Every structure is written in C-alpha cells, then in structure tokens.
Structure 1
Amino acid sequence: MKYLYTAILALLFISCANNQKKVNLIKENSSIEDTLLELKTDKLAKDIMKDSVMSPKDCSLIFNEFFEKFSKDSLFQKSRVKYPLKWSYYRESYEKLTIEHIEQKDFIYIDFTEDKNAMQKKSGKYEVVIEKSKYEVNYLLKGYDNGIHMNHIFKLVEGCWFLVEIIDEST
C-alpha cells in the first residue's frame, strides 16, 4: 500500500509539474501574442501618424486659393506635388521630349509669384494662359519672342489640387 501511495503522489507531482509547464507555455504564448498585438498597434499608430503628416490638409476645391498658397509657400508647394513628378523637356536636338521623374528630395521650389509681372520685363517676357476644367488646370507660360513654352499640369486628386506634371517645350 505504501508503494501505491508513493506512486500516486509521484504521478500527482509529475502531473502538477506538467500542468505548470503548460501554464508557463500558455503565459509565454500569451505574452508573445500581446507583444505582436502591441507591435501591430504601434505600426498602425505610426501609419496613421504618417498619413496625417503626409496627407495634405486645408484642401481647397477652389484652384485660385490653392494656387496663391502654392506660389508663395515652399513647404506647402512641396507637399502638393505628386511624386515622382513627371518632367518632360527638350535636349539640344529638339527632336524628342526627354522624360524624367523628380523625387521629393530633388524637387526645387518653383517661384510663380513673378508671373503677374512677366510681360513688364525688359527681356524674357511671357504671358500666363490658364486653361481650367473641373478636375484639371493647365498653367501655361508662353514666351513673347523668346521660345518659352512651359506647361504645369495640376489635377484634383481626392479633393486636393496637386502639381502632377511639367512639360517644358521651350526652344
């Protein structure tokens, strides 16, 4: 009988030890799941922050209001360009347009503030021709006896105006 009690106690002890291992294993798995959940939550929070930083605010459906700010504010301008920006231009041969794509880090502020006075210049005169439709605006600079012909294409994307392409056909 002594052996029977000893055997039962040993089995109970082993059984309890195995249950403790299972509990520890469950705790570890739970801990891993919690960690994964925290990582996913952190990633989601970062994505939301990134979207709120990257997505433009104060979208104006009125192009003129947008363009006034776009012309004067270099940071706003950089935020309202669709990257990579398609830029087409002629090389020396003028036979075929060369197409390049400008990344955000390479984008340089374009000063549109002088366009109002472009025809009063002594040299390099040009006029501004604006062609508007509901979702697109072509902002064309046409030179006066000097070969300037540059089109800035703006499009309304998800309720916000963006510069999407520059076509420089100047000669």
Structure 2
Amino acid sequence: MKLLCLVIMLFSVGCDNTRVANDITKNIAKENTSSRFSKSDAVDVGNIEEEKTNNEYFDSFFLKFSSDSVFQLSRVEFPYKITLMEDIGSVTRYISKEDWLFINFSQMQVGEHHLEKKEESNSTVTMIYTLEDTGVYFTYVFNKNKGKWMLTSMEDSST
C-alpha cells in the first residue's frame, strides 16, 4: 500500500504543469515571509566564483533542480535508492534512469505542503517533505560529489 501511495505521490508531483511551476518558482525566488529559506540562505545565482571553482551552492542548485527536468535527470544518482519504512522493517527499491519521473519540488511548498532544508554537513543536505495532517513524510538526501550536488536517495517514513 505504501508503494502504491509513493508511486501516486511521485506521479502527482512529477506532472509538469509549466505555468503553475513557473509561478511557484518565481514566488520561491522572491524574498518574502512565506519562503522556507531565510534571507541568510540567499545565494547570488550569477556568482562567478561558484562557476570558477565548480563548487555549487546548494540553494542555487536546488532552484534549478526543482524547475528543470533535464537538469534534474542529470543530477540524480542512478540507480536511485528509495527506502520504504514499514511496520516490519525497511524495504529498499531502486529506480533506473529510464523510469525516473520529474519531481516538482516547487509544488511541495504550497498550501499544506511543506519542504524543509536541513544541512547535515558541507557535503550533505536533507530536504524533508511533509503534508499536513496526512502522515506523509519523505526525506530526500543530496550529496556533493566533486563540487556538484546530486540527489542520492529518498526515504519514505510516512505513517
């Protein structure tokens, strides 16, 4: 049942509604009180130093990763690991590049959807997605490898 819910969730957030996604992405980029990123997290996307050192800032990477399906596909580590937390233990599944569906993280910050950034270290950031009053709880793990951020795994701890 959890796998079915996960597939439905991935499909629903993977659907490409360009106009809505563009509007949401613009709102995320604006500095306002509804943004999940604080002003201290703001990054100059055009930072030349970032390009010279090939050492990406997470926030500028994540903005592009959330809105560009081709870029997203290039920044997912395959086979993509999904861990489903079940009552009897965990079940691990893998998704191939051919089976990948675009995850529209921009839509995960609207209404009752919440996306929270947690910096584990300089090379690991966790994005936690929750949906109010539903028990949905996904953890997306991003790791920096050779100066580039990659989505490496997801854990579904939904109840």
| TM class by smaller structure | 0.5 to 0.7
Deviation at residue 97 of structure 1 after TM alignment: 1.8
SS in structure 2 at match of 1:110: coil
Counterpart of 2:158, as a letter, is: S
Select the structure of larger CA radius of gyration: 1
- Cα RMSD after superposing both structures: 1.6
Counterpart of 1:164, as a letter, is: T
1:131 equivalent among 110, 113, 118: 118
Q: Which runs of 5+ in 2 are unaligned?
A: 1-50
Aligned match of 1:18 = none
CA contact (8 A) 1:60 1:66 kept: no
CA distance 1:76–1:60, shift in 2 (3 Å): farther
| Greater strand content | 2
Residue pairs, 1:64-143, within 5 angstroms:
64-90=59-85, 94-117=87-110, 120=111, 125-132=112-119, 133-143=121-131
Identical aligned residues as a percent: 28
Distance 1:67 1:130 in 2: 10
2:57 matches 1:62: yes
State TM-score, norm by structure 2.
0.62
Deviation at residue 116 of structure 1 after TM alignment: 2.4
Q: Deviations over 1:54-112 (max 9, x none)?
A: xxxx755100100010001111101000111111114xx63222101111111111111
| Greater helix content | 1
Q: Deviations over 1:35-67 (max 9, x none)?
A: xxxxxxxxxxxxxxxxxxxxxxx7551001000
State TM-score, norm by structure 1.
0.58
SS in structure 1 at match of 2:118: strand
Distance 2:150 2:109 in 1: 21
Distance 1:164 1:84 in 2: 9
Q: Which runs of 5+ in 1 are unaligned?
A: 1-57
Counterpart of 1:162, as a letter, is: M
Runs of 4+ in 1 over 6 A off after TM superposition: none
Distance 1:126 1:111 in 2: 12
